[in-house]
Chain A
């Protein structure tokens, strides 16, 4: 674990070095450490501005988003006992995407886009909750179905928003936002994501052993004295807050919450006490590397949603083939 924390810190520092304006590693370290230790300033004002106001918020945003999405995915795969589950399954990201797209369509400010995405993400969770209540019976199945229905419904609304958008003015903005990017990173966005991640992600980490219990199935967990429904909703609401916040600041970023927990499980096994923190670190590293590629591979930025899937899927397929999905039972 310490190794992973060190690796995450190293990747974060390395990410600060990457960009159009070349800044040596020594200068980057100096600028970062000057906040903690009294150091002689041997760098220019421009270098300091680039690092502190351009790159640092972006690196922080990518890292926090990776950490938050990976914890969410690991928790959901445990609670739903399903390897194909990611944070998208609940329909929250579709709801948040629609909120953001609608705000762009209505010509809202950046704050409006963030607020719209957050509001509709939470609205999607409320709809999922009500639908699953109506369905009754098997709680996990009705939740997944409610999530799929809600996701599809908001997906259609996103389509309507795109269809209604002016193809010259608004449509490119909506499409680019939906594909996900950290290019608009600033400290406000970092805060919008960091606060829910701290509380909801922290709660998920505290519940990590209870997730082991839920992963046994409702009946078995209840027989062990677990309040299954209450804990499951605690997990779902936490994930919903994280996903809504993430979509609101950086648009849709798929795959991270789905595949990073699989990587982590192959490394440390299925025990969520270790799996959740490991997923968190790996998620941060993964999204930092992806974002480094997104902003440095080509002249223009590549949308993140494309890269996470394009890079993630072959690696995932290779690992699955190599390790035979370690951590899941084979029956």
Chain B
């Protein structure tokens, strides 16, 4: 397959036989699109992303991955306290020969990725001297350094402050719109999916799925069914821009 799309065809997975985490999951993610995965804790978001990455072999169905993928895991349990720049450099694995070490251009790509995320000043800091949010940015920089055209991000903003959440959202938008990257991400922030995703998948706790264009799928009723919490869609104008988002009514 060479159209650069990602297809999920009737995917299903369980860890204990018969206890399906998700089942009959179908989706088409076209090249250059942003695909969001929403759902409550334990609904199988991470497992679905790992299935797309090939780390999990689904019990049912199959995936078709039409482009190389870069992975941004939620956290990193590193054994060794590598410096940020060394960790980002590891994103270059596909560009470095088996018996070789990274060249100057690989190091330049790693530094550029750190700069792109505004964390070049962390380049020489060891991993265990970084906050969870800083690590998340380093992992994203590693995926950028890989130059993979597809990115799979597992809750990329879960440990980030508001400013850095904004950095990641606008970066995702820029990568998709300007550079044609295909992006799959999971999140607990419906407003993030609503802001950037072209297509959204809602993974209900019942195992039922709703997938489609974000504007259609993300209705107040669907989100209420998804989280068991009422969410209100609000629209307002700010700085001449029409803003539309969701506010949870706790």
Contacts and interface: CB of A to CB of B under 8 A. Distances in A.
A223 B90 contact: no
Contacts of B142: 224
B82 A208 contact: no
A208 B79 contact: no
Given A212-B82, A270-B81, A327-B81, A224 B146 contact: yes
Interface stretch (B36-44, B94-102, B170-178, B216-224): B94-102
A273 interface: yes
A188 B128 CA distance: 47
Nearest to B99: A206
Contacts of B80: 78, 81, 215, 270, 327-329
A225 B90 contact: no
B98 A210 contact: yes
B13 to A, nearest CB: 15
B79 A215 contact: yes
A223 B55 contact: yes
A271 B79 contact: no
B127 A219 contact: no
Contacts of B93: 213, 221, 224-226
B11 interface: no
Interface stretch (B20-28, B67-75, B160-168, B201-209): B67-75
Nearest to A207: B99
B90 A329 contact: no
A82 B79 CA distance: 8
A256 B215 CA distance: 63
Contact of A330 (B77, B82, B100, B128): B128
Nearest to A205: B99
B71 A220 contact: yes
B83 interface: yes
A270 B142 CA distance: 18
Contact of A209 (B70, B77, B96): B96
B91 to A, nearest CB: 7
Contact of A223 (B71, B81, B126): B71
A217 interface: yes
A220 B102 contact: no
Contacts of A329: 78-81, 127-128
A210 B90 CA distance: 9
A330 B127 CA distance: 10
Contacts of A219: 50, 55
A81 B79 CA distance: 6
A164 interface: no
B128 A269 contact: no
A129 to B, nearest CB: 21
Interface in A271-295: 271, 273
B71 A224 contact: yes
Identify the interface centre among B83, B90, B91: most chain A CB within 10 Å of its CB: B90
A152 interface: no
Given A209-B101, A222-B55, A223-B69, A217 B94 contact: no
Contacts of A40: none
Interface in B92-114: 93-94, 96, 98-102
A210 B97 CA distance: 10
Interface in A92-131: none
Given A222-B55, A223-B71, A327-B81, A213 B90 contact: yes
Contacts of B230: none
Contacts of A82: 79
Nearest to A217: B77
Contact of B90 (A78, A216, A327): A216
A288 B54 CA distance: 48
A212 B70 CA distance: 18
Given A209-B96, A210-B98, A223-B69, A269 B83 contact: yes
Contacts of B71: 220, 223-224
Contacts of B55: 219, 222-223
B127 A220 contact: no
Interface of B: 50, 53-55, 68-71, 73, 76-83, 86, 90-91, 93-94, 96, 98-102, 126-128, 142, 146
**10 tightest CB-CB pairs across the interface, nearest first?**
A270-B80, A223-B71, A81-B79, A225-B94, A206-B99, A329-B128, A224-B93, A209-B101, A219-B55, A329-B81
Interface of A: 78, 81-82, 203, 206-210, 212-213, 215-217, 219-226, 231, 269-271, 273, 326-331
9 contacts: A78-B80, A209-B100, A217-B77, A220-B73, A223-B69, A224-B146, A225-B94, A328-B79, A329-B79
Given A206-B100, A223-B69, 10 more contacts: A81-B80, A207-B99, A215-B78, A216-B76, A221-B93, A222-B55, A224-B94, A225-B146, A270-B81, A329-B80
